[in-house]
Amino acid sequence: MSMSSPNPHYSGDASLGVGQIVSDAFNTGVKSYLALFFLNLPILIAAVAAFGSGSQSIFSEDGAAMEQMIRENTGRFIALEVVIFVISIVCSCAMIRILLDRYVGAPVSDREAAVTGAKRALPAIGLLLIFVFAYVVIAFVLVLIAAFLQAVIGILAPIAALGVALLCLYLIFPYVLSGIVCITEELGPIESLSRSKYLTDGYRWPLLGLTFVALLIMAVYQGIVLGLDYALAPAAFGRTILLVFVALIYPLLGGWVIGLFVIAAHRLRALKDGAMSGRMLSNVFE
């Protein structure tokens, strides 16, 4: 799929509409809950089944038991990580495409949308590997800078290193939508990076705010999971109850986060390319 042409009427000062995007993403997640649930279920089943009888240590406070289980099953653990990674990518691509086609793109069935999205898994993995490589390089450079600053300015080194880290975040943040456009616009990894940079130009701070909201909500969810783990682990069937909670709630939150960036990317396409507005989104394009 080729990239859209810029919108000649784009003024450059239109609002992204973060509040409306948050609301619309929640609505699309709720309406797509069953599809999201069944796409998340293979990930959970793979994690629990692969660990077998040791799966209870996933939610156990006994870190030693978890470490021992991993040491005793190193090969199995590595295979598990690879399996879950591939399943997660395939299911995430399917979820992205479902939310796009169900509320923004062509009116196709969820199955057709999921298959279309799943077929984008390989380019998505390639894009992810680029990000991993960039992360390793940036982390290595930051470590060198921190060591240099420690030798030169001493106690102020952590503050300076934090400033450099924030600068790096600012520089790489234009590529935050590359995963979405890789799947929704069917672009290759390099084209997706270029497309994301174009779409996010002038909207880094609103997108950063959108990302902060997503991270905050997910952090609250993780806090609730840890609290339930602490409260339920000693009780009979406590971990089973926790697994059920995770299985039921995470698809909604995961779909909501995906919806945030699917809708944000489409909003930016509407602004910059003059794309048609979403068929089933409320006021995000008004």
For the stretch 174-212, pLDDT in tens is 898 999 999 999 999 999 999 999 999 888 888 888 888
- The confidence score (pLDDT) of residue 36 equals 85
123 contacts: CB under 8 Å, gap ≥ 6: 182, 187, 188, 189, 192
- The confidence score (pLDDT) of residue 3 equals 54
Cα separation, 148 vs 247, in Å, equals 46
Residue 6 per-residue DSSP state: P
Cα separation, 5 vs 3, in Å, equals 7
Residue 10 per-residue DSSP state: -
Take residue 127 and report the two structure tokens written for it. 């894009």
Dmax over Cα atoms in the chain, in whole Å?
A: 64
Residue 70 pLDDT class (50, 70, 90 cuts): low
- Write down the pTM of the prediction: 0.76
